[in-house]
């Protein structure tokens, strides 16, 4: 219980005097150092959580991480540890306990100059933590202590995902309220932008009791403009603020340092410089579009130059062969010839034959050929059987008959028109003999040693071993005859 720890001594040197605020990560108390009698701020892990070693370890790790950052606008850690009684604690510099949320109670707004000053101080303190790769992840007015005109941020060092679970959902960035929450520097930039919006207007742009309600309103409609609440604000404040609270992280300021610089320019009256740099991330889309348009324009200009001025084809430029000859291009297939043929009137078979006969007529006293029309007219007269114009009565071509009948004289010393004129061997086919009673025209090949040597038949394997052949002695072998047939006896 909280009442049980008030007045107690922690680590034998820090006296706890009163409660400042409760928190899921630890309760914050005002106290003093027993030896030096200086005021301090002490955060103690509740006893219900301290019995779990995992919670104690997370508490000490967060205190160690927060102690690595030191800045005038951060509530700095001066000591931490676990005492002999098992109490885990972290000691901070002293504070009166007044928070920014107390100044904004009941919808009260802050004047423009003071709001910009507070926002700038918070931004510089958080930027120092970001340089150490420490994300706050729960930035809200309740975590900012105010001493007159000085703001100090409190609550660094914890796990960003664990802190966001207990943070005020009205100040969480959309990516922290999704099904798979994430948090980075731009999440803190969004939270600070919402805080500045509330300091200037007295309300938050997206209100809700839970993260789901806030996320629904964030996706439903944009934040109301500042002019809806106040008319006395400088016009350059709104573009800076809208860039900080953009729902898309890519359209926000990408670093807290850049946001702090613009806030400083506004607070010191350098509004022109601030207006020029405000929303640099927001305008990245337009800058990209401008660069793309410029590139397309340059490419189009280059194509026009090379195609119109240089007379070149950008797709392919071929070099003509010096020894080549010009070729007449083939005309395009327009279909005009086919269309003209299709328009011709239909002709009967008789008209077609008459037209053919008329085309073959020659001047009187001449024969067809000699002009390249007839391929057979090399000597001025067609060969026997070639068609010639027929009688006018029939209109049919008649076979050509040489004068004196169809007698053809062949020079025995020359070639014949019925035989090929080309030199070479003429193969004459011989009919196959099919009569079985006729004797064969070919003689059988004699069985000579040479023929036998050429082809040696494979011997058939014998069932019994062959007889032994006696060795030759150079003398004629005696032949024994038996019987009356004169056949030699078998050799044993």
**Cα distance between residue 269 and residue 116, in whole Å:** 11
- Cβ atoms 312, 303 nearer than 8 A: no
pLDDT at residue 268, rounded to an integer? 79
pLDDT at residue 108, rounded to an integer? 74
Task: Name the helix (H) or strand (E) containing 262.
Answer: helix 256-267
With respect to CATH, is domain 2-92 assigned 3.30.200.20? yes
Instruction: Answer left, alpha or beta for residue 311, where phi above 0 means left and psi between -120 and 50 means alpha.
Output: left
Q: Mean pLDDT, the chain, as a whole number?
A: 75
Domains 2-92 and 100-285 share a fold: no
Torsion sign (Cα): 248, 185, 151, 261:
negative
Task: Name the helix (H) or strand (E) containing 77.
Answer: strand 77-82
| Per-residue exposure over 221-235, b if at least 16 CB sit within 10 Å of its own CB, e if not | eebeebeeeeeebee
pLDDT at residue 80, rounded to an integer? 94
pLDDT at residue 121, rounded to an integer? 95
pLDDT at residue 325, rounded to an integer? 64
For the 100-285 domain, the top CATH level (class) is mainly alpha
Q: Residue for token digits 């933590």?
A: 129
The candidate with the shortest Cα–Cα distance to 94, out of 147, 132, 26, is 147
**Cα distance between residue 96 and residue 18, in whole Å:** 11
CB neighbour list of residue 10: distance below 8 Å, 6 or more residues apart: 16, 31, 42, 44, 83, 87, 89
**Cα distance between residue 184 and residue 206, in whole Å:** 21
Cα distances (Å, whole numbers) of residue 475 to 154, 478, 491: 139, 9, 17
Q: What is the DSSP string of 445-470?
A: PP--HHHHHHS-PPPPPPSSPPPPPP
pLDDT at residue 388, rounded to an integer? 57
Residue extents of the structural domains in the chain: 2-92, 100-285
Q: Is 79 helix (H, G, I), strand (E, B) or coil?
A: strand
DSSP type of residue 74: B
**Cα distance between residue 32 and residue 390, in whole Å:** 142
The residue ranges of the chain whose pLDDT is under 70 are 1, 106-107, 164, 270-290, 306-337, 341, 344, 352, 354-410, 412, 414-492
CB neighbour list of residue 162: distance below 8 Å, 6 or more residues apart: 58
Q: Are strands 39-44 and 150-153 parallel, antiparallel or unpaired?
A: unpaired
Residue pLDDT, tens place only, 242-286: 999 999 999 999 999 999 999 998 877 765 444 444 444 444 555
**Cα distance between residue 243 and residue 280, in whole Å:** 8
């Amino acid at each position: 219980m909280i009442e049980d720890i008030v007045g107690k001594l922690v680590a034998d040197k820090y006296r706890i005097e009163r409660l400042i605020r409760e928190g899921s990560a630890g309760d914050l108390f005002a106290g003093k150092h027993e030896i030096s009698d200086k005021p301090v701020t002490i955060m103690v892990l509740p006893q219900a959580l301290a019995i779990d070693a995992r919670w104690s370890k997370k508490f000490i790790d967060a205190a160690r991480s927060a102690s690595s950052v030191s800045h005038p606008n951060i509530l700095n850690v001066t000591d931490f540890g676990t005492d002999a009684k098992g109490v885990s604690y972290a000691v901070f510099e002293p504070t009166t306990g007044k928070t920014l949320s107390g100044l904004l109670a009941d919808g009260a707004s802050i004047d423009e100059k003071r709001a910009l000053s507070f926002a700038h101080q918070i931004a510089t303190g958080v930027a120092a933590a970001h340089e150490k790769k420490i994300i706050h992840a729960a930035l809200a007015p309740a975590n900012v202590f105010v001493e007159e005109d000085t703001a100090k941020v409190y609550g660094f060092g914890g796990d960003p995902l664990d802190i966001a679970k207990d943070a005020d959902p009205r100040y969480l960035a959309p990516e922290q309220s999704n099904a798979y929450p994430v948090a980075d520097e731009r999440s803190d930039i969004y939270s600070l932008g919402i805080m500045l919006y509330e300091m200037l207007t007295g309300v938050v742009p997206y209100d809700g009791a839970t993260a789901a309600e806030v996320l629904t309103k964030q996706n439903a409609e944009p934040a109301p403009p500042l002019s809806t609440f106040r008319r006395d604000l400088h016009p350059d404040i709104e573009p800076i603020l809208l860039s900080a609270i953009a729902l898309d992280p890519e359209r926000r300021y990408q670093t807290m340092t850049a946001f702090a610089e613009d806030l400083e320019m506004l607070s010191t009256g350098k509004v022109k410089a601030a207006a020029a740099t405000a929303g640099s991330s927001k305008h990245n889309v337009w800058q990209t579009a401008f660069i793309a348009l410029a590139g397309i324009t340059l490419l189009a200009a280059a194509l026009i130059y090379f195609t119109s001025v240089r007379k070149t084809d950008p797709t392919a430029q071929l070099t003509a062969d010096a020894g080549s000859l010009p070729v007449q291009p083939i005309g395009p297939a327009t279909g005009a010839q086919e269309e003209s043929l299709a328009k011709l009137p239909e002709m009967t078979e008789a008209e077609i034959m008459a037209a053919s006969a008329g085309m073959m007529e020659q001047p009187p006293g001449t024969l067809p050929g000699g002009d390249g029309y007839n391929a057979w007219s090399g000597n001025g007269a067609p060969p026997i059987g070639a068609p010639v114009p027929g009688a006018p009565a029939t209109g049919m071509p008649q076979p050509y008959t040489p004068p004196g009948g169809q007698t053809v004289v062949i020079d025995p010393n020359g070639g014949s028109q019925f035989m090929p004129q080309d030199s070479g061997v003429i193969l004459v086919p011989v009919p196959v003999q099919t009569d079985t009673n006729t004797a064969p025209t070919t003689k059988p090949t004699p069985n000579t040693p040479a023929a036998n040597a050429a082809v040696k038949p494979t011997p058939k394997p014998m069932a019994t071993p062959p007889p032994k052949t006696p060795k030759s002695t150079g003398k004629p072998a005696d032949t024994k005859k038996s019987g009356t047939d004169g056949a030699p006896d078998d050799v044993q």
